[in-house]
Amino acid sequence: MFLKGTAVSKGIALGTLFVYRPNAAEATESYCQDGEKAIHVERFALSGRTAIEKLRQVGKDLPENEAKIFVAHEEILADEEMEKEIIELINKHNYCGDWAIHTVYAKYAGLLQSVEDPLIRERAADILDARDQLLAAWSGKERRSLSKLEAPVIVAARDLFPLDTATLDRDNVLAIVTEAGGGLTSHAAIIARARGIPAVLGVPSLLERVTDGQTVAVDAFEGEVILAPTPEKLEQYEKRLEEWRRVQKDNLKYLDAEAKTADGVRIDIGLNIASADEEDLRGVDHCDSVGLFRTEFLYMGRSTPPSEEEQLAVYGKVLSVFNPRPVILRTLDIGGDKTAECLELPKEDNPFLGVRALRLCFTQPDVFIAQLRAALRASVSGQLWLMLPMVGSIDDIRLAKHFIAEAKDRLTSEGYPVAGNVKIGVMIEIPSLALIADLVAKEVDFASVGSNDLCQYCCAVDRQNADAAEYYQPHHPAMYRLLSQVISEFNKAGKPISICGEMGGDPLAVAALVGLGLRKFSMGLSSVGAMKRALAALTVPKAEELARTIQGLTTEAEVLRHLRENLAN
């Protein structure tokens, strides 16, 4: 049987299926006597403390970016409004404590699940996960987990909550397949990618179609799951798995190599990071710069924005570790597919086209100035390049420069040193900016193409909408024509231009982009070895020929076919 979902972490897997159903304590409708109310309230309080303590024990052994998930869970478990409602159900309506917990948490999860924004809907998983931990503490039962598996398996589940993914036995999880959670921003997707585990999410009616112990093949490139493959299919996937493992092993050999083409042209490889923890910074010896520091993750999963001093410590550490190599720090990019509980975001029908990123910063100047002050204070620790996201016009650039100048003036007047060589650049992700690239190059020191949003706006498709996925076409000929114009104008102006979206780590796209004149790319560490390997097999004349040809083709399918045929090793 062939199933289809969303590929969120690339790879191939073949093995035995393990159907994971957390046996968390379940609450049924039940009521207590008047004389038992105080006991239930006290037991509820004890359960909350127990659940929080367990979260802290789990979180202390995790990388910082994964441990942040549990900070959000702690805040949920300590939420005063939910606590008040639970106690009220016990005292006024005689609910047993576990039934009151179930009722209130279900209410709040339901509110999130009814929101149109897919990212907010995914956060309902945090509510339900916290509820299950609280109910487990109430019952005194250990929740079933994926932390210790007896043998290598492909995990199938309705959904994986953050606690499941953060503690899973990485040595024995071959792949992850879920019925829910199809978004690229779900916890399961984020952690699967970070750990290199193939994952296909959002498979409809998955648990109705699978059984424990059956043989399964997972293609997490195409988002395909094959149940009980025939001997012919089994042989086919065994060969694909062997080839994928060989490629992964070969890619590792290139991790420490210099990034250059077969004819000796040097290519700059930047690293995409989201924090200053060890996991994010372990690519320091393999890259030429930080091509994208996603600072928004400092704001996510917390009830108050990070302070200037907190941001200073993080930015200063990254700048110091990479010094004298540049660190491109992207200012706050919240909105669209990313939300932050600590900021007031407008309720919009289409947040991708609304008040997000730089537009949001303009409406919350205190937040923006605090970030700029922290970044500028940190500039003395290394080579800071400030990059502005969601820029649509020259007016946006000039207004942002005004904020930067104001922050710098304040710091100078207060006696704080600021480096004199801070560069200011923009993300090119809105077509209106791409089409005036020649004018933009006169206003800024550098630019980086955000290919994910540029494709979304160029193709007029919500990249989070699974029903419209076929219209999201990063290899559309129009994309390459638009990129050709941007790269050409910045090269003519002698200003650095790079790409930091998904195309920046795609060997097919990179070959064409080198042909268009791009010499700077940024990607996650897991893509660096593969990228250096692909570059080593490519000559600039061949890349230029590819770039010319694909701009004359008519469909994305034609572009992909041409690139694959001409780049096959």
* Residues annotated as part of the active site: 187, 500
Q: What dihedral do alpha carbons 101, 107, 110, 112 form, nearest 10°?
A: -90
Q: What residues form DSSP beta bridges with 268?
A: 520
Chain-centroid distance of CA 406 in Å reads: 32
Q: What is the DSSP string of 497-549?
A: EEE-SGGGG-HHHHHHHHHTT--EEEE-HHHHHHHHHHHHT--HHHHHHHHHH
Sheet hosting strand 12-20, strand order edge to edge? 2-4, 224-227, 215-219, 12-20, 153-157, 173-178, 199-201, 6-9
3-state secondary structure of 384: strand
CA–CA gap between residue 437 and residue 433 (Å, rounded): 6
Contact 527, 442 (CB under 8 A): no
Contact 503, 514 (CB under 8 A): no
Amino acid 9 reads S
Closest CA to 557 of 470, 461, 484, 481: 470
Amino acid 112 reads L
Sign of the CA dihedral 39, 42, 48, 49? negative
Q: Find where tokens 């941007």 sit.
A: 486
Contact 546, 296 (CB under 8 A): no
Residue 391 neighbours by CB under 8 Å, 6+ apart: 358, 397, 400, 426, 427, 428, 430, 433
- In Å, how far are 44, 129, 490 from 99, measured between CA atoms? 11, 16, 62
